[in-house]
Amino acid sequence: MEAASWRQRLGNHELEYYTDRTENSRVDQGKLIIEARREDYTGKDGVARQYTSARLTTRGAFAQAYGRFTARIKVPRGQGVWPAFWLLGDDIEKVPWPGCGEIDIMENIGKEPASVHGSMHGPGYSGELCFTSAYKLPGGPKFSDDFHVFTIEWDPNVIRFYTDEYLYATFVPAQLPAGKKWVFDHPFFIILNLAIGGDWPGAPDSTTEFPQQMLVDYVRVYKETVQTEQPR
């Protein structure tokens, strides 16, 4: 089971079918393109959907605990689109979600074109109880107007969220609900995907144009040579 399927299994009600076709993901002129299309499609598993898209993951190829994770992305626009750049604990097969941990470095939903969200999910603090914060572009532009850089700096016992190098959220174990466990202490892998529909963004409507594209200029990961324990 691929990582984002956990979300669908847990009831997000997304509308897309993720494929490995070049129509849905490819590299062109140095940019990764993740493209969502409105089309009738039936997968090999017999599931039929009216939208296709792609989800790329480093699962089985790369995972890391701590460091700086950053990507330069231009998100699509339109009601019902849901691009995301996120991390998932690589022990998910042994420790089911949300016990494995999830770090959403960037999520954007079409009905909030000037805002992105950074969130963390763990056992007993997922969904409405997760750590979450939002960053809104000043002055009225939309995130789909240009590329923006989305980053976390992850150290033991602290994770900081940035948009275009602006620090807008910091989460530490002391903010956990009483009795809950901080699970961000082991390797996580990377996921980039463009979902369509779901409980949070809602379905596309008559104003939503297709195809929609999420453009990724780069994804970079840095690891500190010396780890220092942060205050709890």
Mean pLDDT confidence for 113-129: 91
CATH class of 57-222: mainly beta
3-class secondary structure, 210: coil
Q: Which residue has the higher pLDDT, 106 or 2?
A: 106
**Residues sharing a CB contact under 8 Å with residue 174, sequence separation 6 or more, in sequence order:** 232
Other C-beta atoms lying within 10 Å of the C-beta of residue 36: 30
What pLDDT, on the 0 to 100 scale, is given for residue 159? Answer: 98
Q: Which residue has the higher pLDDT, 118 or 3?
A: 118
Mean pLDDT confidence for 224-232: 61
Whether 175 has a pLDDT exceeding 70, the answer reads yes
Residue 112 bears catalytic tag: no
Residue 107 bears catalytic tag: yes
For 52-89, give one letter per residue: b (16+ CB within 10 A) or e: bbbbbbbbeeebbebebbbbbbbbbbbbbbbbbbbbbb
Containing 149, the helix (H) or strand (E) segment is strand 148-155
> pLDDT tier at 224 (50, 70, 90 boundaries)?
confident
Whether 120 has a pLDDT exceeding 50, the answer reads yes
Which of 14, 16, 107, 153 is the catalytic position?
107
Whether 141 has a pLDDT exceeding 70, the answer reads yes
Which of 16, 102, 165, 209 is the catalytic position?
102
Q: Which is it for strands 16-18 and 48-53: parallel, antiparallel or unpaired? A: parallel
Tell me if 125 sits within 8 A of 40, measured CB to CB: no
**Residues sharing a CB contact under 8 Å with residue 166, sequence separation 6 or more, in sequence order:** 135
